[in-house]
Amino acid sequence: MRIALAPMEGVCDVNLRQILTGMGGFDYCVTEFIRVSHTMLPDKVFYRECPELHQNAKTASSVPVHLQLLGSDPRLLADNAARAVELGAPVIDLNFGCPARCVNKHTGGSYLLQYPDQLFSIVEAVRAAVPESVPVTAKMRLGFKDKTLAIENAQALEAGGASWLTVHGRTKAEAYRPPAYWNWIGKINDAVAIPVVANGEIWSVEDAMACRSESGCEYLMLGRGALARPDLARLIKGESQEALPWSLMKEEFIRYFRMIEGTGQPSRVAGRLKQWLVFLQQSYPDAAALLMVAKRLKCPDEIYQATLVS
């Protein structure tokens, strides 16, 4: 079994990637998307979004980091992918799953799931632009408004040269509302010859086993479930039999505070701390109690002090 950490835009930055992969169980992680729109990106953009390029494209716990690009112009994506590989990206992942309106209105992300030919052209161009030794992968949803093109889209990505697909088991219109349609991931898995990674609504070990059974996929990608239960990958793999208690999880939360302290406006840093607590409260009652206190606080130091006594 291989388990990946999802590229959660606006959430899973270099700091959370470091903490979550350090928990164990993850085989690789993917960066938040790097938007490619009108030009060749300067190197500083790649380094900003993927600082791990300075560390052989690995987190501090030696978990490989795949670099994700988002855009709709095949040539621009190909040129930027080639540069990312020159800077050390070991895998280029292409985003065809983002449901955000600001992305879709600029013909990016899941918007492209309406056009299988365009998916093929993008993957084909990127595949041709990078060395054969570098995998080109794609992340997709089941469709834009509906699932009509799910199989055709997956086959177009395979035909373009994708080494594997990650499939989020919902359409753009379904956003993040339960359930995730693991059976539809299974239909895609049956329709292509390349590996398929199943993603969506995996919050527990039981969910992971059910997803594997229903989709037929050996590989999984964890997103929000890993934020709520940071040791979930380790539990799924059987590397640990007992869930991490709050006393130890609190130490990781404090470490996260120290990593992001001073990295931006205090209100923004406080917001990132609260954002993680929103997920942690689903697994830890103490995190829920801490969030109730933190909601009223705007200073990161105040949230830190509240954490110490939680």
Return the active site residues: 98
Q: CB of 168 within 8 A of CB of 141? A: yes
Tokens of 142: 């089941």
Determine the length of the chain: 310
CA dihedral 171, 174, 175, 181 (to 10 degrees): -60
Q: How many CA atoms lie within 13 A of 74 on its CB side?
A: 14
CA dihedral 156, 157, 159, 165 (to 10 degrees): -130
DSSP letter for each residue of 96-154: E----HHHHTTT-GGGGGG-HHHHHHHHHHHHHHS-TTS-EEEEEES-SSSSTTHHHHH
φ/ψ of residue 222, rounded to 5: -105, 135
Measured CA to CA, the distance from residue 16 to residue 230 in angstroms comes to 10
Please choose, from the candidates 238, 96, 73, the residue with its C-alpha nearest in 3D space to the C-alpha of residue 154. 96
Measured CA to CA, the distance from residue 217 to residue 156 in angstroms comes to 19
Please choose, from the candidates 158, 3, 9, the residue with its C-alpha nearest in 3D space to the C-alpha of residue 69. 9
Cβ within 8 Å of residue 240, ≥6 positions away = 24, 231, 234
Q: CB of 230 within 8 A of CB of 244? A: yes
